[in-house]
Amino acid sequence: MLQRKEIHHILDGYVRDEITIATMGSHTALQILKGARDEGFKNLVICKRGTEEVYQQFGVADELLIIENYEQFMEEKFLEKLIERNVILIPHGSFVEYLSPKRIENELLVPMLGNRMVLEWESDREKEREWMEHAGLRLPEEFKDPKDIDRLVMVKFPGAKGGKDYFLASNPEEFERKLKKTGLRDKDRFTIQEFVIGTRFYPHYFYSPLKNRLELLSMDIRYESNIDGLSRLPHILQDGTPEPSFVVTGNIPVVARESLLNPILKMGQSVVKASQELFSPGLIGPFCIETICTEELEFIVFEISARIVAGTNLYINGSPYSQLLYQEPMSTGRRISREIKDALMDDSLDSVIY
């Protein structure tokens, strides 16, 4: 694990007026780049060859660096290029997936927004569960032994991209049959989780260590294929219905009933507090809690994303919530650059960068 002081040493060498906000061209890069510009920073996007057109098309980046593959990102020469440009990297979902949490922790010697320690807590399901339990959140029941399955469950695998290989089962026999179909799986590594029925809410938070304040910036629902398509055909599909899958294809805006905002804020506060207790200084910047709200109006939480999530792309010009907090269009991408700008003015960049 790269040490904080190594990264802060590099940061100390940065020319304060020349700081460049950079990210990988994918996921939420458009709003991160626009937000950096809106806050007066230079910006830079790193694209794998073939993906650059979007960033050229929208004209959001001052500089575009092309790499042939993600391996190249980690090469010493490339990292030096970023450091020369006084780059602060902004991690997002694709950034973490393509570069891998372990390599980011151990090799990515470029200052990055947030706390790198969070990667380990987010990417390991058991640690993530410990974090959520520590925060006192209500979690879906888990079945350690498939023989105990007594209701509809969702079977999850580590590294299943966007929920692609997940499957549903209602009893041990169905579980075994479907597990066999998936073939290759290491038996110990799946998670069998109660399938919670309710409505999904993915609130987007921002925790500012400078202000010691948690902000609710927006929320979304993930649009998932094929489950969101199957739900349009319940009367037609019966025998031979395809296995539901949960691959994220887009995001839908949502607001919560106003009386639910209090519990939503409380969940965010507990997650931040637990992170500070488990891996000080804890969460820094944007994060999301993936929840399902039941008919008893209880939130059941099944995941934390400890970085900017793609659902924030709906709100490049602000959301109903961010408009209450800010008198200007405030996306999560822009809020990130605002925090960096505030930290620069306060001479406390090292409290938001690791």
Alpha-carbon span 184 to 180, nearest angstrom? 8
CB of 191 to ligand AMP, least distance (A): 9
> What DSSP string runs through 67-94?
ESSHHHHTSHHHHHHHHHTTEEE--BHH
C-alpha distances (whole Å) from 175 to each of 55, 111, 149, 212, 304 are 44, 45, 8, 46, 26
Between 237 and 252, name the residue whose CB sits nearer to ligand AMP: 252
CB of 126 to ligand AMP, least distance (A): 14
DSSP 229: H
Contact 157, 184 (CB under 8 A): no
Between 6 and 243, name the residue whose CB sits nearer to ligand AMP: 243
The encoded tokens of residue 253 equal 């805006």
Between 200 and 266, name the residue whose CB sits nearer to ligand AMP: 200
In the chain, how long is the greatest CA-to-CA distance? Answer: 65
The encoded tokens of residue 172 equal 């041990």
Between 53 and 142, name the residue whose CB sits nearer to ligand AMP: 142
CB of 343 to ligand AMP, least distance (A): 31
Contact 123, 63 (CB under 8 A): no
For ligand AMP, the binding residues (CB under 6 A) are 140, 154, 163, 193-196, 200, 222, 224, 246, 290, 292, 302-303
Alpha-carbon span 108 to 101, nearest angstrom? 10
At 80, the amino acid letter reads E
CB of 195 to ligand AMP, least distance (A): 4
Specify the residue for token string 């979690």: 139
Between 275 and 305, name the residue whose CB sits nearer to ligand AMP: 305
CB of 18 to ligand AMP, least distance (A): 38
DSSP 188: G
Between 151 and 177, name the residue whose CB sits nearer to ligand AMP: 151
CB of 117 to ligand AMP, least distance (A): 21
Query: How many CA atoms within 13 Å lie on the side-chain side of 79?
Result: 15
Between 154 and 264, name the residue whose CB sits nearer to ligand AMP: 154
Q: What distance, in Å, lies between the first and last C-alpha atoms of the chain?
A: 11
CB of 162 to ligand AMP, least distance (A): 7
DSSP 187: G
